[in-house]
């Protein structure tokens, strides 16, 4: 996934992604006729406002994310942009009360949340409501992009890319509401076991004649647990990563970071591995150590240690 300036800033300095995304949508609707045309067609309305305000307070019904006002101040459109936050007590009933006759309430949500949100809203309302529309962030932005391509505006194209990458990041990394399966104690047991497995790999790799752990350490972080070592004149970090497990296409909990002996990146390592399980990261080569269903703990430790030895030897042999 490509990182945009907007997604970088949001992830490093701003805790509430939804506010950033909603402000961006308001900006698009206020500035670009193409965005308003898409909104009009999406909501099947004869016209939509040209003026949009974020977090416009109401007396008793909360603060909708985006409110579209007509020339006389009537609330014609309310847009509630969500990623994984739950519905508030005001949603959707009280927001509907804020709308003028013929007004529409639009929810923008991740693709993966569309079905569940439809069910949740219909449950709250005891059925469907024609004044509510639920669409995905990606669908809305793609429609604006298609409309923009009819009469290309490079500034709008850039703005859409920025917001699209932020939405993709939140779709992939945002925390959805907990389910019963998430709370299964087996999840905690697995996380504990994988950290323990990494420690057992540490002991096994220390037995290699060509491994060196001098001055290097085991390290834990919020994303996982691992250890540094050197072997075959390569500097490595073998670790369990909950983050890589769900963000990387390989979808495995165990990973090997590889650099040269001075802890610097060498692009040749990535090309030497020549595998879909290799990633050419910013400052290192990353290798996904795939596991198989049915492996017990001893099988996993044997497999990881053998894979590490295999890939390091492969790099060494291909750089001769």
pLDDT value at residue 140: 96
* Per-residue pLDDT tens digits for 208-247: 999 999 999 999 888 889 999 999 999 999 999 988 998 8
pLDDT value at residue 14: 47
What residue has token string 């923009």?
A: 148
Rounded CA-CA distance 7/204 in Å is 41
- Residue 278 structure tokens: 């290799």
- Given a contact cutoff of 8 angstroms between Cβ atoms, the answer to whether 225 and 192 are in contact is no
- For 309, the 3-state DSSP assignment is helix
Band of pLDDT at residue 175, cut at 50, 70 and 90 = low
Average pLDDT over residues 271-288: 95
Q: Would you list the domain boundaries of the chain?
A: 5-173, 185-318
- Given a contact cutoff of 8 angstroms between Cβ atoms, the answer to whether 110 and 84 are in contact is yes
* Per-residue pLDDT tens digits for 50-72: 999 999 988 887 889 999 999 99
pLDDT value at residue 178: 66
Band of pLDDT at residue 99, cut at 50, 70 and 90 = very high
Q: Is this prediction's pTM over 0.95?
A: no
Buried b / exposed e along 183-209 (16+ C-beta atoms within 10 A): eeeeeeeeeeebbebbebbbebbeeee
Taking CA atoms, 87 is separated from 17, 92, 107, 116, in Å, by 16, 8, 11, 12
Average pLDDT over residues 22-43: 95
| pLDDT at residue 27 tops 60 | yes
What string of DSSP letters covers 250-288? T--SEEEEEEETTS---HHHHHHH-STTEEE-SSSEEEE
| pLDDT at residue 85 tops 90 | no
Report the percent of the chain where pLDDT is more than 90: 68
Average pLDDT over residues 174-201: 82
| pLDDT at residue 3 tops 70 | no
């Amino acid at each position: 996934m490509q990182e945009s300036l907007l997604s970088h800033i949001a992830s490093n300095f701003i805790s509430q992604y939804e506010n950033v995304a909603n402000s961006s949508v308001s900006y698009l609707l206020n500035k670009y006729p193409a965005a308003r045309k898409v909104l009009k067609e999406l909501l099947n309305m004869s016209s939509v406002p040209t003026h949009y305000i974020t977090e416009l307070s109401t007396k008793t019904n909360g603060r909708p994310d985006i409110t579209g006002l007509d020339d006389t101040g009537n609330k014609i459109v309310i847009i509630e942009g969500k990623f994984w936050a739950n519905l508030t007590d005001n949603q959707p009933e009280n927001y509907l009360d804020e709308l003028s006759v013929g007004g529409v309430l639009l929810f923008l949500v991740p693709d993966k949340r569309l079905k569940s949100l439809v069910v949740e809203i219909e449950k709250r309302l005891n059925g469907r409501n024609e004044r509510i529309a639920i669409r995905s962030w990606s669908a809305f932005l793609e429609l604006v992009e298609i409309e923009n391509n009819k009469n290309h505006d490079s500034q709008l194209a850039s703005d859409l890319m920025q917001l699209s990458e932020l939405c993709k990041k939140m779709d992939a990394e945002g925390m959805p509401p907990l389910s019963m399966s998430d709370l299964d104690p087996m999840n905690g047991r697995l996380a504990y076991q994988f950290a323990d497995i990494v420690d057992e790999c540490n002991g096994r790799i220390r037995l290699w004649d060509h491994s060196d752990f001098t001055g290097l350490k085991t390290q834990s972080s919020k994303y996982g647990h691992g250890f540094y070592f050197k072997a075959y004149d390569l500097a490595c970090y073998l670790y369990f990563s909950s983050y890589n497990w769900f963000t990387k296409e390989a979808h495995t909990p165990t990973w090997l970071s590889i650099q040269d002996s001075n802890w610097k990146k060498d692009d040749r390592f990535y090309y030497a591995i020549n595998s879909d399980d290799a990633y050419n990261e910013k400052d290192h080569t990353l290798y996904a150590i795939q596991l198989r269903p049915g492996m017990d703990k001893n099988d996993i430790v044997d497999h990881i240690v053998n894979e590490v030895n295999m890939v390091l030897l492969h790099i060494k042999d291909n750089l001769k």
